[in-house]
Amino acid sequence: MTISVRNTPFDPWTELRQYQDKMLTQYGKYGATASFVGTLRDTNLGTDVQGMTLEHYPGMTEKSLQHIADEARQHWAILDILIIHRYGELAPNEPIMLAAVWAEHRAAAFDACRFIVEELKHRAPFWKCEDLATHKRWVEQNTLK
């Protein structure tokens, strides 16, 4: 399992491929990979968004993500988990996060991946400040599922 919180841009598809290529000990064991990539939209609440700054508490954030991943492992038969999340300044269309789950069967992979994404959105200590045309705005609520 790998959890990475970073302030540099990343290509989720390259990260996913590289991580899966390193899973040599799991070769032939997994039958499903479920992944989710979250990207920054250029609009929110009817307003154009020019960018966003994501803040977090180092250490606390990684522990929170680890706890969420551990909970997923308790509920589903998972072989491996990869979570990458950005912080810092982001532009529209840049990936914010990648969550990937490997499991023997698709139901466990899909369900665990969705659980991780939803719990991360609600529980992980990230704070979003949107850059709008005329001012900055803190995001006070999570978007709909």
Asked which of 28-32, 40-44, 85-89, 99-103 is least confident by mean pLDDT, the reply is 28-32
pLDDT band at residue 140 under the 50/70/90 scheme = confident
Instruction: Please state, for a pLDDT cut of 70, what percent of the chain lies above it.
Output: 94
Name the residue ranges covered by the structural domains of the chain. Answer: 2-38+58-124
pLDDT at 79: 94
3-state helix, strand and coil shares in percent for the chain, rounded to the nearest 5: 30, 35, 30
pLDDT at 22: 86
Angstrom CA distances, 49 to 8, 43, 132, 137, stand at: 20, 5, 5, 10
pLDDT band at residue 143 under the 50/70/90 scheme = low
Rounded Cα gap, residues 6 and 18, in angstroms = 17
pLDDT at 101: 97
Rounded Cα gap, residues 19 and 87, in angstroms = 21
Which helix (DSSP H) or strand (DSSP E) does residue 85 occupy? Answer: strand 78-86
74-126 pLDDT, tens digit per residue, is: 999 999 999 999 999 999 999 999 999 999 999 999 999 999 999 999 999 99
pLDDT at 3: 97
Which CATH superfamily is 2-38+58-124 part of?
Molybdopterin biosynthesis MoaE subunit (3.90.1170.40)
pLDDT band at residue 142 under the 50/70/90 scheme = low
pLDDT at 59 over 70: yes
pLDDT at 28: 81
Query: Mean pLDDT in the chain?
Result: 93
